């Protein structure tokens, strides 16, 4: 009896306390307020990570980049082309965005951009030359984005008048317009940021883009509302919700049950099952994400070209692509991704052939084989399977591979130290250009050349190409460099990943971009 009294007192207290707070769902289904005009459809996407920042100059992970591209515009943007019936970005085709036109000086070191008149940020402030200068300055001072500023060789950015911006480069740079089309160089609402303080940009949007940010909680979801005054026309979706679902198998289940309209990063093993669902379409595009087996050119026996080539002949390529990746990957035949303009498979002679591998080892003086250390970074299932399969094949030619598994953060640190003997790693070049790609990874001074590959001729070709304004001639130089690299085999090429996105058949307008970031604006959905 006593207990019952106490319990009812608790309930009463709860109700009394609650009496002063309002009910948040007084009118459930608040979205359906009257049927005068049917609002545009809404879209829900299952994303993996929650993102770290809304600041364009600092964004450098997939989700943050997505948030930025939904809410901001850039001076210029990439065109779109159709390849095999799929819409993909054409990164060589630079199209006007906030800038309606631009002029380039004869020596290709000065660009004068004319900004479209009458454009407004979401706050109502005008988009003007000062905002462009301000945005570029923020990039130059940022942590994450500043390297791109250097990569684009930008010397100065000045506002000539309210709608004219002059950008001077240190030297001619063919990647310049491609780089400033990236999310990093989004144009920020200077007036608003100066009112609110710079930290405002970390968690809020201050752009002119197609969507406004309604809510962003990295632990659960991000919600975007259509910016119906968008200067390119209102989006075809009234609301986009990103649901952060870390567990890949849950993303697959949600998509299968149509609880989400789209899901990114579908595990290769689930693609076949999703394709059987007649409500769904699975888009699997060849991406620019490559996976390679790197060998430290400073460490014996990998300082010997023949040994590295032998390893190239001992990789079970078909097994990796079919058994590990379930066919959601493509063979890789150059250090540069096959989607990149200027790609060539010249010099690629390798195949799975253990006799050939043995022969090369013998020529190199390792007829008895050898043993070496391999560092496996955690976080990617396929890397682990690949490593074990390669280990098994190498054992057949007398080569012992000692796999040493470390956590991702530790892997990145050890990789940077440049002392790893061998490892597997992936790479996506933000800028779809062989110069950018090789400059990081295989140019002698490259900041991500952790295996110390240093070939004087490759270095010279790369430097010459960088200064060559004519694209055809430039690519020829890059192709020569690729051929030398492929022959000298500092890496074994494992595969190029596919970018797998699953979507409901009601969703259309999906465009694949090499940076793998989803743009919402082209998307639409049947009611």
Partner 1 sequence: MFAYTLRRLLQMIPALIGIVVITFILSRVLPGDPAIVMAGEQATDDVIAKIRMDMGLDKPLFVQFFSYVGQLLQGNLGFAYHTGHPVLSDFATRFPATIELTLASVIIAICVAIPVGIIAATRKESFIDHISRVFSLIGACVPIFWLGLLFIYIFYSILGWAPAPMGRISGDLNPPTHITGLYVVDSLMTGDMVALKSSLAHLLLPAICLSTGTMAIVARMTRSSMLEVIGQDYVRTARAKGLSETAVVGKHSLINALIPTLTVLGLQFGGLLGGAVITETIFSWPGVGGYVTDSILAADYAPIQAFTLVSAILFSFINLAVDLVYGLIDPRIRYE
- Please state, in angstroms and rounded to a whole number, the distance separating the CA atoms of residues 291 and 306: 21
Q: Report in angstroms how near the CB of residue 484 gets to partner 1 at its nearest.
A: 23
Site for partner 1 in 298-327 (CB under 8 A): none
DSSP 61: S
Site for partner 1 in 198-217 (CB under 8 A): 202-203, 217
Dihedral angle computed from the Cα positions of residues 427, 431, 437 and 439, in that order, rounded to the nearest 10 degrees: -130
DSSP secondary structure string for all residues of 167-182: EEESS--TTHHHHHTS
Q: Report in angstroms how near the CB of residue 399 gets to partner 1 at its nearest.
A: 28
Peptide bond into 301 cis (omega under 30): yes
Residue 52 sits in the site that holds partner 1 (CB under 8 A): yes
Q: Report in angstroms how near the CB of residue 222 gets to partner 1 at its nearest.
A: 12
Asked if residues 116 and 76 have their Cβ atoms less than 8 Å apart, the reply is no
Site for partner 1 in 58-77 (CB under 8 A): 58, 60-61
Looking at the DSSP bridge assignments, the partners of residue 158 are: 166
Residue 253 sits in the site that holds partner 1 (CB under 8 A): yes
Site for partner 1 in 213-242 (CB under 8 A): 217-221, 241
Residues in CB range of 241: below 8 A, 6 or more apart: 42, 43, 44, 45, 221, 222, 223, 224
Q: Residue 461 class from Cβ within 10 Å (0-12 exposed, 13-18 middle, 19+ buried)?
A: buried
Q: Which is nearer to partner 1, 370 or 440 (CB)?
A: 440
Query: Which range binds partner 1 by CB under 8 A, 154-162, 249-257, 363-371, 391-399?
Result: 249-257
Site for partner 1 in 346-405 (CB under 8 A): 379
Asked if residues 293 and 320 have their Cβ atoms less than 8 Å apart, the reply is no
Query: Which range binds partner 1 by CB under 8 A, 128-136, 171-179, 246-254, 489-497?
Result: 246-254
Indicate which single residue of 400, 416, 460, 473 sits in contact with partner 1 (rule: CB under 8 A): 416
Q: Which is nearer to partner 1, 164 or 258 (CB)?
A: 258
Residues in CB range of 492: below 8 A, 6 or more apart: 292, 293, 295, 308, 311, 312, 315, 350
Q: Which is nearer to partner 1, 199 or 351 (CB)?
A: 199
Query: Which range binds partner 1 by CB under 8 A, 53-61, 280-288, 352-360, 478-486?
Result: 53-61
Q: Report in angstroms how near the CB of residue 414 gets to partner 1 at its nearest.
A: 8
Residue 257 sits in the site that holds partner 1 (CB under 8 A): yes
- Please state, in angstroms and rounded to a whole number, the distance separating the CA atoms of residues 199 and 102: 32
Residue 330: how many other CB atoms lie within 10 Å? 18
Q: Which residues of 32-67 are buried (b: 16+ CB within 10 A; e: fewer)?
A: eeeeeeeebbbbbbbbbebbbbbbbbbbbebbbbbb
Indicate which single residue of 123, 448, 505, 508 sits in contact with partner 1 (rule: CB under 8 A): 448
- Please state, in angstroms and rounded to a whole number, the distance separating the CA atoms of residues 159 and 268: 49
Sign of the alpha-carbon dihedral angle for 178, 179, 184, 189 = negative
Indicate which single residue of 90, 108, 109, 146 sits in contact with partner 1 (rule: CB under 8 A): 146
Residue 17 sits in the site that holds partner 1 (CB under 8 A): yes
Q: Report in angstroms how near the CB of residue 507 gets to partner 1 at its nearest.
A: 17
Q: Report in angstroms how near the CB of residue 305 gets to partner 1 at its nearest.
A: 27
Q: Report in angstroms how near the CB of residue 258 gets to partner 1 at its nearest.
A: 10
Q: Which is nearer to partner 1, 218 or 509 (CB)?
A: 218
Residue 256 sits in the site that holds partner 1 (CB under 8 A): yes
Indicate which single residue of 100, 107, 259, 303 sits in contact with partner 1 (rule: CB under 8 A): 259
Query: Which whole-number Å values give the CA distances from 358 to 317, 367, 396, 485, in the listed order?
Result: 17, 7, 9, 22
Binding residues (CB under 8 A) for partner 1: these are 14-15, 17-18, 21-25, 28-31, 44, 50, 52-53, 55, 58, 60-61, 143-144, 146-147, 150, 202-203, 217-221, 241, 243-247, 249-250, 253-254, 256-257, 259, 379, 406-413, 416, 427, 429-430, 440, 447-448
């Amino acid at each position: 009896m006593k207990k019952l009294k106490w319990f009812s007192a608790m309930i009463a207290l709860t109700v009394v306390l609650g009496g002063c707070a309002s009910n948040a769902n007084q009118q459930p289904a608040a979205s359906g307020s009257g049927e005068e005009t049917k609002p545009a459809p809404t879209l829900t996407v299952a994303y993996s990570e929650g993102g770290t920042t809304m600041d364009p100059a600092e964004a450098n992970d997939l989700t943050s980049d997505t948030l930025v591209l939904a809410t901001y515009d850039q001076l210029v943007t990439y065109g779109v082309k159709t390849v095999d019936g799929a819409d993909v970005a054409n990164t060589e085709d630079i199209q006007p965005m906030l800038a309606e036109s631009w002029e380039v000086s004869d020596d290709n070191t000065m660009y004068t951009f004319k900004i479209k008149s009458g454009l407004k940020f979401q706050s109502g402030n005008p988009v003007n030359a000062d905002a462009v200068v301000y945005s570029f300055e923020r990039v130059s001072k940022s942590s994450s984005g500043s390297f791109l500023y250097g990569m684009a060789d930008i010397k100065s950015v000045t506002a000539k008048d309210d709608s004219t911006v002059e950008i001077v480069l240190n030297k001619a740079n063919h990647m310049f317009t491609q780089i400033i089309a990236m999310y990093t160089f989004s144009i920020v609402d200077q007036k608003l940021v100066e009112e609110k303080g710079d930290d405002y940009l970390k968690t809020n949007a201050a752009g002119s883009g197609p969507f406004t940010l309604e809510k962003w909680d990295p632990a659960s979801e991000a919600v975007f509302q259509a910016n119906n005054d968008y200067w390119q026309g209102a989006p075809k979706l009234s609301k986009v919700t990103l649901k952060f679902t870390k567990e890949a198998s849950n993303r697959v289940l949600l998509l299968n049950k149509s609880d989400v309209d789209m899901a990114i990063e579908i595990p290769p093993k689930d693609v076949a099952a999703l394709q059987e669902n007649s409500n769904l379409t699975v888009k699997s595009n060849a991406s620019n994400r490559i996976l390679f087996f790197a060998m430290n050119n400073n460490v014996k026996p990998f300082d010997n070209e023949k040994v590295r080539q032998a390893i190239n002949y001992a990789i079970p390529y078909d097994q990796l692509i079919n058994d590990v990746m379930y066919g959601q990957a493509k063979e890789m035949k150059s250090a540069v991704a096959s989607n990149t303009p200027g790609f060539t498979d010249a010099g690629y002679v390798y195949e799975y052939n253990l006799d050939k591998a043995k022969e090369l080892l013998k020529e190199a003086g390792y007829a008895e084989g050898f043993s070496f250390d391999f560092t496996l970074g955690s976080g990617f299932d396929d890397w682990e399977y690949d490593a074990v399969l390669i280990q098994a094949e190498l054992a057949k030619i007398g080569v012992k591979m000692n796999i040493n598994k470390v956590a991702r953060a530790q892997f990145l640190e050890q990789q940077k130290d440049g002392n790893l003997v061998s490892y597997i790693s992936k790479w996506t070049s933000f800028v779809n250009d062989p110069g950018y790609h090789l400059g990081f990874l295989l140019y002698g001074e490259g900041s991500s050349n952790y295996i110390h590959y240093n070939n004087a001729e490759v270095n010279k070709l790369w430097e010459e190409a960088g200064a060559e304004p004519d694209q055809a001639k430039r690519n020829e130089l890059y192709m020569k460099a690729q051929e030398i690299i492929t022959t000298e085999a500092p890496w074994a090429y494992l595969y190029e990943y596919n970018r797998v996105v699953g979507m409901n058949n009601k969703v259309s307008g999906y465009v694949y971009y090499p940076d793998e970031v989803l743009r919402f604006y082209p998307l639409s959905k049947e009611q």
